[in-house]
Amino acid sequence: MGRELLSIEHLTKRYGDLTVLEDLSLTVQEGQVIVIVGPSGCGKSTLLRCINALEPIQGGIIKLDGQEIDRDTKKLPELRQKIGMVFQSYDLFPHLTALDNITLAPIKVQKRKKAEVEAEALQLLERVGLKDRAGDYPRQLSGGQKQRVAIVRALCMHPEIMLFDEVTAALDPEMVREVLDVLLDLAKQGRTMLIVTHEMQFARAVADQVIFLDGGQIVEQAPPDQFFEHPKTQRAQKFLNTFTFETIKNHGGNDYENQA
């Protein structure tokens, strides 16, 4: 693992009287894959949105590469370019082709040359098996294909860290595997990633560290084998007991042990 890339210190996030994240601290090293699991409503997605300054925070400090991520700073647009985020809802522009969706921000925001960006986009699309769909519009793509385009769009901005928020949650089971395979490949390339997922076998295969979040706090943090085989807290044990091999298999997350 490399240098400390992301630092979160005593993060607190509230919606009115509801505290969603409370005094949460976390560090992520360059090249590290952190998988965040936990019950619905525990603050997983909110944590990612706070890192990207999509949500205002009520306490604490978030730093990327030593620079504070602050919604009020003039440097925020520049910092956001270093954070790639992929949502479960794809968020592709319906009136643009897959290639145009990918190249829009690098050309308009980063002022890079169109030919250079398009060449890189096609290369990335080929890597995820979609080069032949570059001219298709989102309506012509399956859910799994749209999600892979969304991942390539984030990669084309050359982010230092990637955030994935339940990227398979809206997909049919047969499409889950094709997206998880892309994330597994990114992990093998040494990408720094924070992944929120309910795919437990995938989490075990891809993670360097698993974080169990509950009640807006990190209840447990451990390497995947330790977390899944010997969870230290009753809350984590109870959470893991809700998953059986069959339910994991039905969600498309089987057979990852052989690829880790």
| pLDDT band per the 50, 70, 90 thresholds, residue 172 | confident
Residue 67 counted as domain residue: no
pLDDT digits (tens, 9 = 90+) for 177-228: 899 999 999 999 999 999 999 999 999 999 999 999 999 999 999 999 999 9
Backbone angles phi, psi at 236, to 5 degrees: -70, -40
Judge whether 240 lies within some domain.
no
* Interval 125-140 mean pLDDT: 96
Which domain does 154 fall in, by range? 90-159
pLDDT value, residue 247: 41
Amino acid at 122: L
Helices (H) and strands (E) in the chain, counts: 10, 10
Domain count, the chain: 1
Whether 143 maps to a domain, the answer reads yes
Which tens digit of pLDDT belongs to each residue from 32-73? 999 999 999 899 999 999 999 999 999 999 999 999 998 887
Distant-in-sequence, close-in-space partners of 85: CB < 8 Å, separation ≥ 6: 48, 52, 154, 162, 163, 164, 165
Residue 131 lies in a domain: yes
Say if 103 falls within a structural domain: yes
